[in-house]
């Protein structure tokens, strides 16, 4: 028959070993997760590399052929058009709110 009464030192030792086992498992899991993160980061960098190379190539070509100025002009024009659209939308929104406020006190 198993001994029911156990000494306090035995119980303490059992708790210590359980804690150590849990700690080791946690470390192993953390290591696995860290490895996975590193692998993921490496994969991302590897997949990004061809696109970077391509963009660098086009940049060089544009500099040689003189297309960068045209591209900058187009970009500035697009930005200006976008800003104008945003300003117009904001203006319309303000006008609508004013209209709504005016109508409220009439009715």
pLDDT at residue 99 tops 80: no
In this prediction, residues 40-48 reach a mean pLDDT of 86
Chain-centroid distance, C-alpha 64: 35
Domains contained in the chain, number: 2
What is the token pair recorded at 76? Answer: 């500035």
| Mean pLDDT of all residues belonging to the chain | 83
Q: What is the pLDDT of residues 4-23, one digit of tens each?
A: 667 778 888 888 889 989 99
Percentage helix, strand, coil for the chain under 3-state DSSP, each rounded to 5: 90, 0, 10
Confidence bin at 1 (pLDDT 50/70/90): very low
- Residues 34 and 59 occupy one common structural domain: yes
Which residue range is the domain that position 72 belongs to?
A: 66-107
- Residues 36 and 72 occupy one common structural domain: no
- Residues 35 and 70 occupy one common structural domain: no
């Amino acid at each position: 028959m198993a001994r029911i009464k156990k000494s306090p030192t035995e119980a303490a030792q059992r708790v210590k070993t359980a804690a150590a086992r849990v700690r080791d498992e946690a470390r192993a899991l953390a290591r696995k997760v860290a490895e996975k993160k590193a692998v993921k980061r490496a994969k991302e960098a590897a997949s990004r590399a061809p696109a970077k190379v391509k963009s660098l190539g086009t940049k060089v070509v544009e500099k040689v052929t003189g297309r960068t100025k045209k591209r900058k002009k187009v970009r500035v024009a697009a930005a200006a058009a976008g800003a104008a659209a945003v300003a117009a939308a904001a203006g319309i929104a303000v006008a609508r709110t004013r209209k709504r406020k005016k109508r409220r006190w009439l009715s």
